[in-house]
Amino acid sequence: MMNMISLFRETRAVRDFTDEPVPRHIIMNILDDAVWAPNHRFREPWRFIYAEGDGKQKLAASIDWKQHPRLVNTIIQAPLCLIVTAKMNNDEHIASEDFAAVCCLIQNIQLLSWVHGLGMTWNLGDYRGWTEFMKLAGIQENERIAGILSIGFFAPVPEKAALIELYEKVEVW
Amino acid sequence: MAGQRDVGEKENWSTHMSQLVRERRTIRSFSEHPLSQEIVIDRLQAAAQSVFNEKGKLPCRFVYIASREGKEKAVSLIMSVYAEHKLYKWLPSKVGQMMAERIISIPAFLVVVQEMEESKEMCERDYASICAMLQSFSLLAWDCGIGLVWNTEPYMRKQSFATDMGLKRGERIVTILFMGNYERISKGKQRTPVMKKISFL
């Protein structure tokens, strides 16, 4: 029988998507749930850029394909590209807390998408120097990209994930 | 019909997940009832599985502290790093003792240790994945009545504390989760609607 634990165990990254468009209202519902992520002092340090169709193709075209073939292919192939930003801060501790909060939010998106039959890949890299991309996406000076998410329906169901052995990584006091 | 049941189940699970994500709260005051180590580790395993599924390597390890002696040791390390670095202006010994007792009464601590890669980019990606895993864990814990708080105070980055906690070179503490069964649940602050925080290309 399916339970919460097995649902989490089954969740996985998806890189192959069907052409079927993703209804915007489903994504908006997912995001309005996902923002219930924990965040310090209620700073809600996130913002979203939703790109599909031409807007998405332009984003993909601004990336150096030779350097980042996998990312470019994923953006082109997935019907939706959702960029999630985190607020930057001169205080390293606050910046790190805010980045963590946005990562929790992205995990919520991953889990909520999965139960809606949507797959997601979370791309995260060093995006310094991506001037054209940042300009197209409208990323502001005080923001950094916490994830470029590729979202879409998947078929077939992606390969079963390898089981993670955790017990040997837990020390008990 | 099998097809219909599938649809029904799918809708059911999306409602359930949506509720879980919206209902989870940060918990700072716990029942003293001990936790089952097996349940905690099982849920931690499932949380890891929900994030790390491509290459299988887990960039972190854990110290699970739930025995009286273990908690006493950890809390004395926390108190001494506080004193050493004067993280509090002045703490009368009686207040310090009360604070220590209060922390010891929390059923379990989970120290999350990141094993650092050489490249900064990899470290950041691993940190992001560890945070994602801990969010999965918070939800799975909540689902069985366990609440928690992420402690990220600066003391856990101090070298003396890391050494005393048994960290090796190339490791750092991401957070210490304090956890136990929850009794009272706060109402939670309404979030800003996503419409106000999104732009469309």
Q: Is residue A91 part of a domain?
A: yes
Q: Is residue A163 part of a domain?
A: no
**B101 to chain A, closest Cα gap in Å:** 18
B93 by Cβ neighbours in 10 Å (0-12 / 13-18 / 19+) ranks as: exposed
Q: Is residue A6 part of a domain?
A: no
- Asked if the Cβ–Cβ distance from B64 to A171 is below 8 Å, we say yes
Quote the ipTM score: 0.95
Q: Name the token pair of B75.
A: 């809390």
Mind listing the pLDDT tens digit for each residue in A30-85?
999 999 999 999 999 999 999 999 999 999 999 999 999 999 999 999 999 999 99
**Backbone angles phi and psi of B76, in degrees to 5:** -65, -30
In total, how many domains does chain A have? 1
Say which CATH number the domain at A17 has: 3.40.109.10
Show the domain range for A138.
Answer: 13-157
Q: Indicate the residue of A58, A115, A172 with minimum beta-carbon distance to B64.
A: A172
**Rounded alpha-carbon distances, angstroms, from residue B23 to B9, B62, B101, B188, B189:** 21, 26, 30, 8, 11
B103 by Cβ neighbours in 10 Å (0-12 / 13-18 / 19+) ranks as: middle
Name the band, by pLDDT with cuts 50, 70 and 90, for residue B4: very low
C-alpha R_g of chain B: 20
Mind listing the pLDDT tens digit for each residue in A90-146?
999 999 999 999 999 999 999 999 999 999 999 999 998 899 999 999 999 999 999
Q: In chain B, what percentage of residues exceed pLDDT 90? A: 73
Task: Identify all chain A residues contacting B87, using CB atoms and an 8 Å cutoff.
Answer: none
Query: Three-state SS string across B33-70, please?
Result: CCCCHHHHHHHHHHHHHCCCCCCCCCCEEEEEECCHHH
**Helix crossing, B2-23 with A24-34: angle to 10°?**
40
Mind listing the pLDDT tens digit for each residue in B97-155?
888 999 999 999 999 999 999 999 999 999 999 999 999 999 999 999 999 999 998 88
- What pLDDT is recorded for position A3? 85
Q: Is residue A133 part of a domain?
A: yes
Structural domains of chain B ordered from first start: 30-67+106-181 (3.40.109.10)
**Backbone angles phi and psi of A130, in degrees to 5:** -90, 60
Q: Is residue A53 part of a domain?
A: yes
B46 by Cβ neighbours in 10 Å (0-12 / 13-18 / 19+) ranks as: buried
Name the band, by pLDDT with cuts 50, 70 and 90, for residue A162: confident
Report how many Cβ contacts below 8 Å link chain A to chain B: 203
Q: Name the token pair of A116.
A: 């809606």
